[in-house]
Amino acid sequence: MALHCSRTCRKYLLHLAQENVEFRLPEIKALLSLSGVQFTPDEHFDEKSPFWVLSNVSEEDVRNVMKRTVCAKSVFELWGHGRTHQELQLSLKNYPTENMVPYLKSDSTYKINVYTFNKTVLHQERIQKIDTLEFLPFSGKVNLKNPDHVFCLLENYGSDPNRIPEDPFYVYFGRWIADGQRDLIRSFSVKKRHFIGNTSMDAGLSFIMANHGKVKANDLVFDPFVGTGSLLVACAHFGSYVCGTDIDYNTIHGIGKASRKNQKWRGPDENIRANLRQYGAEKSYVDVLVSDASKNVWRTGSLFDAIITDPPYGIRESTRKTGSQKEMIKPPEDFNGESHVPVSMAYHLSDIFTDLLNFAAKHLVINGRLVYWLPVYRPEYKEEIIPQHPCLKLISNCEQTLSSHTSRRLVTMEKLKEFEDADGLAHLLHARFNPYQGHNSFREKYFSGLKKKTGKDEFKNTKKL
């Protein structure tokens, strides 16, 4: 008796981009969970592979993922797979005919593509590979330009470009369903952005952050270190309302020196609102304010669905907070020098993260996500240095390498419980909530690494790098 295969017992093949490899799993998990579905890896799951098989999901679930993902290129309904073409044929022959038939009808048109990972295959060889699929009951006509259905034979030749095998390690065949949103990386490129700064976040990473944060239509998203608003742009594209703060008056007001080459001053209307307008998302703009993240100006309560941010690391911009006379150490009575009240003082990295986590614990809704970058000195990195908080659960922590000795880690946390006063002091009472003090010397380590590497003082040439 042929078993009826319901929609959810079909399998789907995800073809992923081989960049930002560590960011892919948390992205796909987050996007599936937006549809209320858990990621279930199959027995051969290899996180680093460009191909993942998804089970226990429906076509609608994977279509929803593809509407948001910048890590995955395409998704296919998997009809067959195997270590060899013989295994693939056997697997295809066992695939329920009723699942294939709607796409093979005589009044429909189709096309078969061949995709080879880590190997270039000549046109003639591609045709030969397509010919091996002749046994499939295609009854429609081939149409290469505008087919009703597209099928794909995908071959994986491993990841070593210096040792490409004669035959593929694994082969798949499936019906193409949808492509991901990788085009956004180009269409939202900061090179074409109206308002940019020295530290504007790359478009691809901004979308990944929004996805890790599970931002969705009508959410309210906040960036406390908003800069030129690149993260707001990505969140607004997914339909969230966005707001932010920054200590820098010129950045918030879009005035002062320009960051573009060949342009001295920022032009009129070079501001965050104009960036959103550029992408048709001005209706998502709530507001931006000049405000110091170390001084909480917000009313008590859960205000934000997500906090997506890129705090300063002190490399391209200084880590400063507003100072006051009270915070100054009093000079001795006999001090004759000029009395000076600083307008700003150092904001140590460990304090930035303590304040950020406390802020998120206070102002996120339950299950709301905090997504932020943490700079790390690689030789000293261990997982324990990731700041913890009693109200927040660590969801993912992915590395982006900056140099041989430095990297930044994209940290995603989710709010579990409401904030109580004692939680704000947890970092003083428990070692595991105390952010790693070594973060504070990140800037010195970053530049000492540069000096060691080149043998000269590159700091002189980096200015406000």
Ligand X SMILES: C[S@@+](CC[C@H](N)C(=O)[O-])C[C@H]1O[C@@H](n2cnc3c(N)ncnc32)[C@H](O)[C@@H]1O
Binding region for ligand X (CB under 6 A):
197, 199-201, 225, 227-228, 230-231, 245-248, 251, 292-294, 310, 312, 317, 319-321, 347
For ligand X, give the closer residue by CB, 109 or 400.
400
SS3 content of the chain, % helix, strand, coil (to 5): 30, 25, 45
Give the shortest CB-347-to-ligand X separation in angstroms: 5
Q: Residues 384, 434: contact at Cβ < 8 Å?
A: no
The SS3 call for residue 188 is coil
Give the shortest CB-235-to-ligand X separation in angstroms: 12
DSSP character at residue 266: P
For ligand X, give the closer residue by CB, 69 or 309.
309
C-alpha span between 303 and 47 (Å, rounded): 35
Give the shortest CB-231-to-ligand X separation in angstroms: 5
Give the shortest CB-236-to-ligand X separation in angstroms: 13
Q: How many CB atoms lie within 10 A of CB 284?
A: 24
Give the shortest CB-351-to-ligand X separation in angstroms: 10
Q: Residues 25, 54: contact at Cβ < 8 Å?
A: no
Residue 409 β-bridge partners: 374, 399
For ligand X, give the closer residue by CB, 33 or 401.
401
Give the shortest CB-135-to-ligand X separation in angstroms: 53
C-alpha span between 446 and 462 (Å, rounded): 12
For ligand X, give the closer residue by CB, 33 or 263.
263
Q: Please tell me the number of Cα atoms within 13 Å of 408 on its side-chain side.
A: 17
Q: Residues 414, 365: contact at Cβ < 8 Å?
A: no
Give the shortest CB-416-to-ligand X separation in angstroms: 26
What pairing do the DSSP bridges indicate for beta strands 392-401 and 406-415? Answer: antiparallel
Q: Residues 245, 75: contact at Cβ < 8 Å?
A: no
For ligand X, give the closer residue by CB, 116 or 319.
319
For ligand X, give the closer residue by CB, 74 or 206.
206
H or E element in which residue 372 lies: strand 364-377
For ligand X, give the closer residue by CB, 292 or 423.
292
Torsion of CA 71, 77, 83, 87, to 10 degrees: -170
Give the shortest CB-354-to-ligand X separation in angstroms: 13
C-alpha span between 399 and 410 (Å, rounded): 6
Phi, psi of 57 (to 5 degrees): -130, 160
For ligand X, give the closer residue by CB, 352 or 398.
352
For ligand X, give the closer residue by CB, 270 or 292.
292
Rg (alpha carbons) of the chain, rounded to whole number: 26
For ligand X, give the closer residue by CB, 51 or 372.
372
Give the shortest CB-246-to-ligand X separation in angstroms: 5
* Residues in contact with 166: Cβ distance below 8 Å, sequence separation at least 6, in sequence order: none
Question: Nearest residue to ligand X, using CB?
Answer: 227
Tokens linked to 245? 């703060």
Give the shortest CB-362-to-ligand X separation in angstroms: 16
Residues for the chain: how many in total?
Answer: 465
Q: Residues 104, 138: contact at Cβ < 8 Å?
A: yes
